[in-house]
Amino acid sequence: MSDIEMEFLSKQFDNATYNFLLRLAAAKLRDINSADDVVQETYLIAHKKIKELMQSENPRGYLVNILKFVVMHEQRARSHMNNIHQKITLAYATRNNLDYHDEPELFTILKKSEYDLLRLVYIEGYTQKEVAEKLGVKYDTCRKQIQKAKRKLIQEIE
């Protein structure tokens, strides 16, 4: 990326725009940590598509459109996780000794550790910070592991 492109991206993705996008994402996702992840993902996509962003008549609108796309994928990942959770819950209702490996769809998509992370956040309702503390890992490490697991689900949906 050239200096001109980097400068343009920095101007377009300033603190005001970051906060604006964060509020939009948080309103849709109702989770500030996921909203922050979505905004960061938006920045990465804008970085990759800098030429299109620079050619846009409305760069901020272009960023909002990227954000909407990323939010949609986040919501799909959550929905997929909820579907998996419902299958597991139903299986538990019919037999009490269900193991992670008894769910073939889950086993082919996520590692057990990835599932456990997503389960803690999306099913049990812990914040990413609480999960990091519970597991005794740094917040950034935990956040990145959750992001990686979510990406796996998103890729599976697509």
Residue 98: what pLDDT?
Answer: 47
Q: What is the pLDDT of residues 119-133, one digit of tens each?
A: 788 777 788 888 999
Residue 80: what pLDDT?
Answer: 74
**What are the Cα distances from residue 28, in Å, to 36, 38, 115?**
12, 11, 23
Contact 149, 112 (CB under 8 A): no
SS (H, E, C) 13-78: CCHHHHHHHHHHHHHHHCCHHHHHHHHHHHHHHHHHCHHHHHHCCCHHHHHHHHHHHHHHHHHHHH
Residue 119: what pLDDT?
Answer: 79
% of the chain surpassing 70 pLDDT: 82
- pTM greater than the 0.75 cutoff: no
More confident residue, 22 or 78: 22
